[in-house]
Amino acid sequence: MKKILLYTSLIVMTILIACSGDKPQSSGASKAVKSAKSSSVEKKETYKMKKTESESKKAVASKSAEAEEDQTEPMTKEQLNKAKKLIKKAGDVSDVDGKKLFKMNCTSCHGLKGNLKINGAKDLSKSKINLENAVAQVYFGKGLMTSYSQILSEKEIVAVAKYTETLRR
């Protein structure tokens, strides 16, 4: 009698073990465990993504900070030589209204006082560059500032560059 009980209980146990190893019965529970696990994995992943996102934002911020210091290469020697010639050729420009030219062409980025700094424009009220550099920059353009060689006459370019010097404090 005892032996029969032992055998039957053994059989029942093996059946139970076989079932739990496979899908039936316990599958619901294991699924719940699995989904809980995967959701925590997902959370971790979104956290990671957020982290990398903020890191890349930081990288961009530091890059733009660098860019603010020196956006573009300085004017080349040839460009400065050209500017020198333009200044010499223009001679006396007191008959050209540099202020009016500035208002018409430059205030969209630099503002009336030169300190608007739209589109990464340099603050002209704090500018320390010489007339040659200013003329070269207006004539050839630099960074986001377009060239004015096709828009203004040579004399006008020198006059407006001279006018920017009056904006300094």
Q: Which residues bind ligand HEC (CB under 6 A)?
A: 71-72, 102, 105-106, 108-110, 119-122, 124, 127, 129, 134, 137-138, 142-145, 148, 160-161, 164
Of 26 and 143, nearer to ligand HEC (C-beta) is: 143
Of 20 and 129, nearer to ligand HEC (C-beta) is: 129
Of 82 and 142, nearer to ligand HEC (C-beta) is: 142
Residue 74 structure tokens: 């300085």
Of 60 and 144, nearer to ligand HEC (C-beta) is: 144
Report residue 60: phi and psi, to 5°.
Answer: -60, -45
142 bridge partner residues: 145
Residue 7 structure tokens: 């055998």
Minimum gap (Å) between residue 133 Cβ and ligand HEC: 7
Of 26 and 141, nearer to ligand HEC (C-beta) is: 141
Whether the Cβ atoms of residue 132 and residue 88 lie closer than 8 Å to each other? no
Q: Rounded to whole angstroms, how far apart are CA atoms 111 and 126?
A: 13
Q: What does the buried/exposed string (b/e) look like for 4-18 if buried means 16 or more CB atoms within 10 Å of the residue's CB?
A: eeeeeeeeeeeeeee
- Residue 162 gets the label, from left (phi > 0), alpha (psi -120 to 50) or beta, of alpha
Residue 45 structure tokens: 């992943």
Q: Rounded to whole angstroms, how far apart are CA atoms 140 and 134?
A: 10
Minimum gap (Å) between residue 81 Cβ and ligand HEC: 18
Minimum gap (Å) between residue 86 Cβ and ligand HEC: 13
Minimum gap (Å) between residue 58 Cβ and ligand HEC: 23
Minimum gap (Å) between residue 44 Cβ and ligand HEC: 43
